[in-house]
Structure 1
Amino acid sequence: MAPIRTDLHYPVGEFLLHIRPLDGWRPSFDEMAVPRLRTLGLGVLLFVPVLLANWFAISGQATRSRLLATETKLSALVNNLPGAAFVYSRPAGIDRPGPEDRVTFLNQDSCQDLWGVDARVAESDALALWNRAVNKERSEAFTRHLVTATREMRPWTHTWQIRTPEGVEKWLTGRGHPVPMENGMVSWFCMVFDVSEEVAREAELEKQRDLAFKAQKNESIGHLTGGMAHDFNNLLAVIMGSLELLAEEENSPGTSRLIRSALDATERGADLTRNMLAFARRARLAPERLDLNDVLRDANSWMGRTLPDSITVETSLLSGLWKVSADRGATESALLNLILNARDAMNGHGRLTLTTKNIHIDADSAGEGGEELAPGRYVQLAVTDTGHGIPKDLRDKIFEPFFTTKETGRGTGLGLSMVVGFMRQSGGTVRIRSSQEEGTTIALFFPAATDQKNLLKSSRPDTSLQGGTGAKILLTEDEPGVRDVLEAILERAGHIVTQARSGDHALSIFHSDPGFDLLVTDIVMPGTLQGTDLVKALREIRTELPVIFMSGYTDQATAHGMSLCGEDIHLMKPVHRSKLLEAVITVLDRTAKDADG
């Protein structure tokens, strides 16, 4: 039985209805082809939208997953940055910081770490970050920098200092890139980092560079000054020796007075060279155990001649002051320098205060206020004036050689440099504190003396020393004028003198006649053999040969091959006649006692 087929027409469409009997039918392929194609088409139409919807759903989930992963990575990156990342927006037409500014993004932990401010506070009030800046001038410079960058739409980079609410000072550096928004606002995408350690390292490096530069400069000037002082000492040696010989022969009171005045001037010249050598750290110091209170009390006798009556002098001397080991003459010279500077700073009117105190320097205070001191006990001698003070930008310069604020003719710029040189050579330092229009305090820090018993004692020349022992002396000196004067002094004292113009010449003479009782020699001379080399060569021939060294400054002996032996005497030029003869007698007496023993 064939199926029944009919067409049904409805408003919504047409349907093809096939009816077959229960026992089925076997339609032909041609009869079922069209219905099957229509069914297939309907299936396709129903399946494709479902497939596309599923594809879009799966694709959207993957995109969301990728976005979430990216967001997680970016969040982890921002949160692990060694600084703060934030977006800072400013309204259109405004190029200076103000309450209208907004922080639209800021990683919270970094905000707290850098500024000490909660991120929510910063997001509600952008000025909470600006107000952390320490220096108003730097803040204004930063603002101008941002204004220019905003107008020119270019990135900015800046470093500034802040203080957290807890009082911690930091250095921050930042970089921002401007992006103009559609509403006219400008958003800065910024990164800020804490560079406090880097700034501290750079400051320390700069300090070390400055110290190295000053040390190199001072060393160069020291060499120059030391050389000049050495040559000047040779000239003074000739003048002093000649004047002392003339004073011995002259009986006229008027002429003797002139000679005495010339000798006094020579003494002042010797003091000047000693101060120059102190600056060069090559001075011959004679340290003795001093009570600085006694030095200040003795200074009262000459301060009256130095200071006008319009300057009041006050002293505050500590009872129980520790003793120091220092050269008395150089200490008095340093004190005089400070007093004269204070007088000039007060223009002849004011109050000068001299104080002493015991000071303990520990590791924390070793570098305060100037050069670093080794921890230990120190005695401070301070000179305070009520003058105009020293501007802050000049305080690091006043100890530099030849720097002076005085008008031409009133200062050389070497006074304080010499004081610093003397204090360094004595193991101490100089520190300064000054306020403009209030006054200045310059303090000398002397190491407190230990219980050592071998401190050298200074002594004044014994002008009464006369006579000699007829010793046979080999005199070695390259300066003819100095050599002739020394020969005259020694021969007038009864000694037999043979001159040698160099170490090589002296060795040749000694080989011909080794019977000398004493060698008096300069240290620095032309030729192969310096003074110390000559002594070494002669003592290979005569081990017990006594020696007196003469030089322009202390360290010449060690600078030319060997240190002085314990029995040798070292005299610094210019040397008084009495001092030279005293040294000769001392050495010869010691040699005689050794021979008898």
Structure 2
Amino acid sequence: MNAGEKIVVLNVDDLEAQRYVKTRDLNAAGFAVIEAQTGAEALRMIEQHKPPVVLLDVQLPDISGFEVCAFIKTKWPEVMVLQTSATFTETEDRVSGLNAGADSYLVQPAEPVELAAAINALLRVRRSEDALRSLNATLDKQVRERTEELEQANRKLRQEVTQRQKVESELLQAQKMEAVGQLTGGLAHDFNNLLTAVVGNLDLIRARATEPRITRLAENAFKAAERGSKLTAQLLAFSRTQKLATESVDLNRLILDAFELLNQSLGASITIKTELDARTPFVVADHNQLEVSLLNLAINARDAMPDGGTLTITTGCDDPDNRRVMLSVTDTGTGMPPDVIARAFDPFFTTKPAGRGTGLGLSQVYGLVRQMGGDVDIKSEVGKGTSVRLSLRRSIASTETTAEAQAAAENGHAERILVVDDDHDVRGLMTSFLSEIGYVVHEADHGNAALAMQTTVNPQLMIIDFSMPGTNGAEVVKAARAVQPSLPVLFVSGYADSAALEAAMGSAPFLRKPFRPAELASAVRSALDADSSDDL
């Protein structure tokens, strides 16, 4: 109610004389009065005017004042009711009125000042109740707002927690990979030296043999040795220590080209479906290793479908900005429970029976994809199959940027080459082969011997192993270039950690063990024909 406005009081009484006296006294006390003669009329007036106080006589012609009071308090509990009566004046009458919901009971006739005081007292109660209702409404609003704030905070907390768990999981996985990488790195160097000698000599035997049986045996042994080489590369790949030959790869073309191989590998009980988006951008990847990853995923899916099923390979853009490209391999197999999903990328973890799996398949895929700047995710449900999704970096090139493999290099022209390698078999293979194709070759089994030989040989190229006892290859080259600043260098190594190699060698040419003689010839020719050598 606005300041200055009179407070409206509804005066309900069927006797005109009594109603007149009460209205007169209320007007004199400063109230605005409206009147009703019956209970029904009183209820209509309240509905229309919403008076803060009703002066209600108990005895009415249609409805008793007690019933009218009870109805008012049910429908408009904020309306204050002052019940009056000149007839029902006993204690039980007052109790009945109060029990019906009246806020006060006044016996008539009453003095004008008493009537005004009783109404003012009710108005004070009304204002207090209004204030309480307003306070309750404010508190309810604040509680709702605070509850919503807490719910939002809890949602964010559950998210900032989910993200932390994801980061911690990724960190744990990276630590596992690093540990396996450290375990295999040292072994890889010696193993690659061994394979270099085996592959190189078998390749030479295969090329020079005249008897078909010897050629066939050499071919079989050569293929086995190459598989050993690929196994080493795969073992190192998931530990993220071997540098990948990344290029711009047409993902859809890679899948189509590999389709026949997948068909043969999975068998007749597996149906292969492809859902390849023609708009799929090229990706940054090592073509060969990505193909191996696809084959690994397909074989894993096959093993999860012992009674046959469907393998679906899907490609498409992985985000609205086309910065990521998705490759997913989905099967209809047995699926995996959450505890298996959590360990699926762990090196050597497998649920297959003994002798049926190494546990390196998914680990290799994980390591390769992460090394290529992508990510891997598994969704699986027991009895409903598994989907492994690779998220790969989009290539900015629209066509493949790497040229086709170079043809075999030209033979040498008596250039002087100094071969430095502590492994007798590898050193002997390189020396023998390079001599055969026209180079003058000198050899040393360690760095100090090479530096001592340099002044008399005056080599036009140094081929040097990176990892040797004592002084490593990079340190030997620095000392050699102090004597011959423009000396071309070709590094060879079976060492696992590509990052360490690059940090030590800079942009110098590098040939990874094991290599074939033709690859050695090509690398030597390229190093000799270069206009100038790169600084370490």
Would you call these one fold, judging by a TM-score over 0.5?
A: yes
The CA distance in 2 between the partners of 1:197 and 1:405, in whole Å, is: 36
TM superposition shift of 1:553: 4.6
- Alignment check: 8 A CA contact 1:291 1:322 kept: yes
**Paired amino acid for 2:352:** K
Match of 2:244 in 1: 285
Once the two structures are superposed, the pairs formed by residues 482-521 of structure 1 within 5 Å of their partners are 482-510=426-454, 512-513=455-456, 515-521=458-464
**3-state SS in 1 of match to 2:336:** coil
The CA distance in 2 between the partners of 1:537 and 1:500, in whole Å, is: 15
1:399-448 CA-partner distances (Å, limit 9, x unpaired): 01111111111111111111111111111111111122111111112111
- Alignment check: 8 A CA contact 1:532 1:560 kept: no
Within the alignment, does 1:470 sit opposite 2:429 as a pair? Answer: no
Within the alignment, does 1:330 sit opposite 2:289 as a pair? Answer: yes
Within the alignment, does 1:234 sit opposite 2:193 as a pair? Answer: yes
1:561/1:244 CA distance change after superposition, 3 Å: same
Stretch deviating more after TM superposition (204-213 or 285-294): 204-213
TM superposition shift of 1:535: 1.6
Match of 1:542 in 2: 484
1:413/1:169 CA distance change after superposition, 3 Å: farther
Q: 1:434 aligns with which of 371, 380, 393?
A: 380
1:204/1:444 CA distance change after superposition, 3 Å: closer
Q: 1:580 aligns with which of 517, 520, 527?
A: 520
Match of 1:102 in 2: none
Within the alignment, does 1:377 sit opposite 2:323 as a pair? Answer: yes
Once the two structures are superposed, the pairs formed by residues 290-329 of structure 1 within 5 Å of their partners are 290-329=249-288
Once the two structures are superposed, the pairs formed by residues 355-394 of structure 1 within 5 Å of their partners are 355-360=314-319, 377-394=323-340
TM superposition shift of 1:563: 3.7
TM superposition shift of 1:555: 4.3
Once the two structures are superposed, the pairs formed by residues 136-147 of structure 1 within 5 Å of their partners are none
1:382/1:518 CA distance change after superposition, 3 Å: same
TM superposition shift of 1:324: 1.5
The CA distance in 1 between the partners of 2:188 and 2:342, in whole Å, is: 26
Q: What's the C-alpha RMSD, in Å, of the aligned pairs?
A: 2.9
The CA distance in 1 between the partners of 2:258 and 2:162, in whole Å, is: 42
Once the two structures are superposed, the pairs formed by residues 86-125 of structure 1 within 5 Å of their partners are none
TM superposition shift of 1:330: 0.5
1:208/1:291 CA distance change after superposition, 3 Å: closer
TM superposition shift of 1:350: 0.3
**Paired amino acid for 1:297:** L
The CA distance in 2 between the partners of 1:348 and 1:541, in whole Å, is: 69
- Alignment check: 8 A CA contact 1:490 1:581 kept: yes
Unaligned ranges ≥5, structure 2: 1-138
1:315/1:341 CA distance change after superposition, 3 Å: same
Within the alignment, does 1:551 sit opposite 2:493 as a pair? Answer: yes
- Alignment check: 8 A CA contact 1:277 1:553 kept: no
**Paired amino acid for 2:405:** S
**3-state SS in 2 of match to 1:562:** helix
The CA distance in 1 between the partners of 2:502 and 2:251, in whole Å, is: 36
1:359-417 CA-partner distances (Å, limit 9, x unpaired): 2267xxxxxxxxxxxxx611111111100111122212100111111111111111111
1:453/1:537 CA distance change after superposition, 3 Å: farther
Once the two structures are superposed, the pairs formed by residues 14-29 of structure 1 within 5 Å of their partners are none
TM-score (norm. length: structure 1): 0.61
1:203/1:359 CA distance change after superposition, 3 Å: closer
Unaligned ranges ≥5, structure 1: 1-106, 117-162, 172-195, 363-375
1:353/1:213 CA distance change after superposition, 3 Å: closer
The CA distance in 2 between the partners of 1:560 and 1:465, in whole Å, is: 25
The CA distance in 1 between the partners of 2:281 and 2:223, in whole Å, is: 34
- Alignment check: 8 A CA contact 1:378 1:448 kept: yes
Which structure exhibits the higher relative contact order, with contacts defined as CA atoms closer than 8 Å and separated by 6 or more residues? 2
- Alignment check: 8 A CA contact 2:186 2:495 kept: no
1:146-179 CA-partner distances (Å, limit 9, x unpaired): xxxxxxxxxxxxxxxxx99xxx4776xxxxxxxx
TM superposition shift of 1:508: 2.1
1:361/1:514 CA distance change after superposition, 3 Å: farther
Match of 2:305 in 1: 346
Within the alignment, does 1:531 sit opposite 2:477 as a pair? Answer: no
1:82-110 CA-partner distances (Å, limit 9, x unpaired): xxxxxxxxxxxxxxxxxxxxxxxxx9899
Within the alignment, does 1:589 sit opposite 2:532 as a pair? Answer: no
**Paired amino acid for 2:435:** E
Q: 1:423 aligns with which of 345, 366, 369?
A: 369
Q: 2:351 aligns with which of 405, 415, 425?
A: 405
The CA distance in 1 between the partners of 2:354 and 2:218, in whole Å, is: 32
The CA distance in 1 between the partners of 2:498 and 2:326, in whole Å, is: 31
- Alignment check: 8 A CA contact 1:345 1:389 kept: yes
The CA distance in 2 between the partners of 1:355 and 1:207, in whole Å, is: 25
Q: Going by fraction, where is strand more abundant, 1 or 2?
A: 1
- Alignment check: 8 A CA contact 1:226 1:276 kept: no
**Paired amino acid for 1:438:** K
- Alignment check: 8 A CA contact 1:274 1:284 kept: no
TM superposition shift of 1:236: 0.7
The CA distance in 2 between the partners of 1:389 and 1:209, in whole Å, is: 25
**3-state SS in 2 of match to 1:489:** helix
- Alignment check: 8 A CA contact 1:237 1:573 kept: yes
